[in-house]
Structures are given as structure tokens and as C-alpha cells.
Structure 1
Amino acid sequence: MIDVTSNDPLTLNGQCHCGAVKFTAELPLGLASARRCTCSICRMRGAIAVTSTHDGFKIVEGADKLATYRFNTRTAEHHFCIQCGIYTHHKRRSNPNQLGVNVACLDGLSPFDFHEVVVYDGQRHPGDNPTHTTFTAGTLTFTPAS
């Protein structure tokens, strides 16, 4: 089993649900970069994302099967498979030089492997309202079912 608390760099393969989109993701901050966000799309999507970069993320199959969704400031780019609808990754609004990669798409991982996940307050993003001067984070703790 992979150590989800490690911040050691890691490279993993991944794919969408139907397998039409396959990728490799270098995670320079390891799995300790796992986080969730409270912005409208992340809240509805419910995914846990880990950090990659544009150079460290490679689509190896199915680039033509990816669609992109943008809203609000149109800075973030949310990518998903047009066949199965699964969100694979996104360009972050909080740091457009980073990508968030859906943990559930990575080989050998499940979002249920993560017992504590940082939660970013994307609902109060500083880019939306000048009175929001900070981008706060908290921790969400999961309790496994017995």
C-alpha cells in the first residue's frame, strides 16, 4: 500500500473510469499534497486532488477524449472524459502553474485511503471579492466505517 502521508516525490499512472483517457502524473509533493476545496465545482464534485505540474503531467492516450469546463474567472480548467464523464485533473485557479489530479483516477489509490485531508476555502477566494484577503485551509478528518 502507498503511504498517503508521504511528501516524497512520486510518479503514478492513472486513467478515467472507462479507460479512454490514460495519463502519467509526477507528484513533486507526494501524496501529502492531497486536498479538497469548497468552491462550487469542487464541492459538488467531491474529489480529493493531489498536486502535479504542467510539465509533470502527460496524457498518454485519449487526449481527444478530454473536454474542458471553465466558469467564473475562467482561470481554472477542469478536464473530464467525454465518454464516462470522470474528472481527471484541473489547472488550479489558486496556482495556475499547478494541476490538481483526481486521486480516484490514480492506479492503486482510493480517496478512502486518506484519513486527513486539507480543505481549502475556495468559496471565499481572494479573486472573487477584495474583502477576502486570505485563502484559508482547514483539515477534514475521515472516520472509517467499522
Structure 2
Amino acid sequence: MKYEIDYIIKEQFDYYKNMCALLSEFKDSEFGPPAEIEKIEQWEKDNNVKLPYQYKSWLLLTAESNILDMYIEFSWPTIGTLNEKNDIIIIASIIGDGETVYISRLNGKVFSIFEGEIKEYKDFDDFLTIQSLYIESMAEEYLGADWGDIYDELFEGE
């Protein structure tokens, strides 16, 4: 059976790649190769957990990635402990300043913790959308207020 990648996550992935290309003169980014569905399913089986559909779609696009000089670093999922033994899945870090992004093994919710403050997201797409606001502020800082026009000129019609 073929796994269908969530189209919203595919759009987010393409946007992230385009933004990284747009800012490549100023910030380095790297998108690793996609994971194979069999590897993801084996990880789920080995860890007795089902990854959320949107996050699994992201892994099928890139198993690991470094976005804009490690603003976001997506890593292969690992099991961790927050409140109870093995209750979280660690999926990313933000800005390298200690903010870590997790998925709850209990309910599949995506959340991050920074300096003791928990931020919950509706889903993985919501997390990507909120982070893209900072990426867009970087574009404005480096390329000016008309960065959106530059983006459209380069990537419109892809």
C-alpha cells in the first residue's frame, strides 16, 4: 500500500525549501533525504507508538533538516521522558537556545517547551505555520519589505 503524503505538509515543505533558497546568501540550510515508509513503520513498531499523519508526511519528505543556520533543526524522532518514563517523542530544536519540540505519546499533540513555558500547537502544520512567521521576518530583515515580491518572482508557477 502506498502512503499518501499530506498535501498541506507538502506545501509547507516546498515553502520552507523555497524560503531557504531565497535566504541562502545569508543563511545555510540543508534538507536530508526522505525516510522510507518502511523505516518509519519499523520505528513506530519498535517504540510502540503511532506518529501523527502530518509529521510522518514530513519525514517522508526529509528525515532530518537544518533550517536557516539551525533556526530549526529537525532530527529523527527519539523517545524521551518529560513527566513519565518515555512519554514524549523529541522531533526538533529551535534556535539552539533550549527550545525543544515534542509529540506527546499519549495523545499525539505537538508542543514545545522553552524556559519552562509550554506552547501547544493544533497540529504539526500549525507548528510549521507559526515558525514560518519568524522565517518571513528574516526575509524582511535581509531582503527588505518587498521580499514577498522577490519570492513570487522566483517561485510563482512552480
TM-score, normalising length: structure 2: 0.28
TM-score, normalising length: structure 1: 0.30
Q: By percentage of residues, which structure has more helix?
A: 2
Q: By percentage of residues, which structure has more strand?
A: 1
State the structure with bigger RCO (CA 8 A, min sep 6), 1 or 2: 1
